[in-house]
């Protein structure tokens, strides 16, 4: 990729140490950042370092990369690492400093478990690469917010980063996740850009318990999670709606196993859209997990690639209607490299307003009947709880 020239953005409230908005953003539709964390890897682990490169390879193959699209698609090649203060806006400082100190042990042993006996690991590069992942998202927030001050249809951002973040609780790591990338970006948008009301959509197949916990008492951050009922980590019950001043700004919708495209279409129109319209956000952030795909090995929903196109298109329209187009996606789960890559590519097509190419991957023969009666019951119950 060629290097892009950067112009001063001081007048656009971009932090002076982070002047990373390229002039191409004046006409771009998608801006993405890449933090592959190649050193953060464990053999045969589903959250491995081949995930992001697989996405990048397919984007190139489908001509959805900058070299094929001029300024329509821009890679934010230069971005800063998140600072300890950025991370500490969500996580306890003792955890941040403790993880940094654990890098010596990880260097000696090559790999350590940082979640007790759980599935979250660290290598000697995990701390710095996790700071890069969070920083790649923050820099996208800067770029999208600045572009929204120049035009009514700013690009949508996508942080193609790992390790993922939505399970990481304030006190520590969990479920493959080290730092809460989306949660950190939400606090950053508030603190640096004065965007008070943040709407977070989490469509990963697993409940985003870390993001849930970070904002459970906060009336200015609306967290909405759809996830498979009974799946890891077992949190995200429908009655968990926030507490104190934040009561009503957490919405959890566990879906029965086997839910698929029809279920998610109804969830989007009947739950996500009215929730967003009522909340009136200043920015929308998305925990984009692609492990609800029918081909993914770690769960039991049956979304197809086309559902992720629908979500990308719908969320893009919501952002344009409600918050001047300000929207950033963050990669979370997705462990079948083929379905992950095609779903992200179709997400890009949704951002661009171009036709879906889901048929290149989706095979209707692998689908089975959805439990639509139970889905309807779940949607009606959550609508009743939240007066939608």
> Could you tell me if 41 and 49 are in contact, meaning their C-beta atoms sit under 8 angstroms apart?
yes
The catalytic site residues sit at 167
> Could you tell me if 283 and 323 are in contact, meaning their C-beta atoms sit under 8 angstroms apart?
yes
Cα–Cα distance measured from residue 304 to residue 316, given in angstroms and rounded to the nearest whole number: 19
Q: Which residues of 108-134 are buried (b: 16+ CB within 10 A; e: fewer)?
A: eeeebebbeeebbbbbbbbbebbbbbb
Considering just the CA atoms, what is the radius of gyration of the chain in Å? 19
Burial (CB < 10 A; 0-12, 13-18, 19+), residue 257, is middle
Q: How many CB atoms lie within 10 A of CB 259?
A: 27
Cα–Cα distance measured from residue 333 to residue 301, given in angstroms and rounded to the nearest whole number: 13
Q: Are strands 156-161 and 327-331 parallel, antiparallel or unpaired?
A: parallel
Cα–Cα distance measured from residue 58 to residue 338, given in angstroms and rounded to the nearest whole number: 9
Burial (CB < 10 A; 0-12, 13-18, 19+), residue 291, is buried
Cα–Cα distance measured from residue 376 to residue 365, given in angstroms and rounded to the nearest whole number: 24
């Amino acid at each position: 990729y060629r290097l892009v020239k950067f112009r001063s953005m001081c007048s656009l409230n971009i932090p002076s140490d982070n002047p990373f908005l390229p002039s191409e953003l004046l006409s771009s539709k998608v801006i993405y950042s890449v933090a592959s964390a190649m050193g953060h890897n464990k053999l045969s682990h589903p959250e491995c370092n081949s995930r992001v490169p697989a996405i990048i390879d397919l984007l190139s193959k489908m001509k959805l990369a900058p070299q094929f699209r001029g300024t329509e698609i821009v890679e934010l090649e230069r971005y800063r690492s998140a600072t300890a203060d950025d991370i500490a806006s969500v996580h306890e400082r003792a955890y941040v400093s403790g993880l940094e100190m654990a890098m010596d042990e990880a260097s000696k042993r090559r790999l350590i478990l940082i979640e007790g006996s759980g599935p979250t690991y660290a290598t000697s590069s995990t701390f710095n690469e996790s700071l890069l992942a969070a920083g790649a998202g923050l820099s996208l927030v800067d770029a999208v917010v600045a572009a929204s001050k120049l035009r009514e249809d700013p690009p949508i951002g996508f942080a193609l980063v790992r390790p993922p973040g939505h399970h990481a609780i304030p006190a520590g790591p969990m479920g493959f996740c080290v730092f809460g990338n989306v949660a950190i970006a939400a606090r950053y948008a508030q603190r640096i850009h004065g965007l008070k009301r943040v709407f977070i959509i989490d469509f990963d197949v697993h409940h985003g318990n870390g993001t849930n916990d970070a904002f459970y008492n906060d009336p200015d951050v609306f967290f909405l999670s759809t996830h498979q009922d009974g799946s890891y980590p077992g949190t995200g019950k429908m009655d968990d709606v926030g507490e104190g001043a934040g009561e009503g700004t957490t919405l959890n919708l566990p879906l029965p196993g086997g839910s698929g495209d029809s279920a998610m279409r109804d969830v989007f129109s009947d739950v996500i859209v009215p929730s967003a319209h009522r909340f009136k956000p200043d920015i929308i952030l998305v925990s984009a997990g692609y492990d609800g795909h029918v081909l993914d090995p770690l769960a039991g929903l049956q979304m197809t690639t086309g559902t992720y196109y629908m979500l990308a298109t719908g969320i893009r329209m919501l952002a344009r209607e409600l918050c001047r187009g300000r929207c950033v996606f963050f990669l979370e789960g997705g462990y079948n490299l083929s379905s992950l890559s095609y779903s992200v590519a179709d997400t890009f097509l949704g951002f661009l307003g171009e036709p879906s190419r889901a048929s290149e991957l989706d095979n209707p023969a692998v689908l089975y009947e959805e439990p639509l009666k139970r889905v309807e019951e779940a949607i009606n119950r959550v609508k009743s709880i939240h007066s939608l």
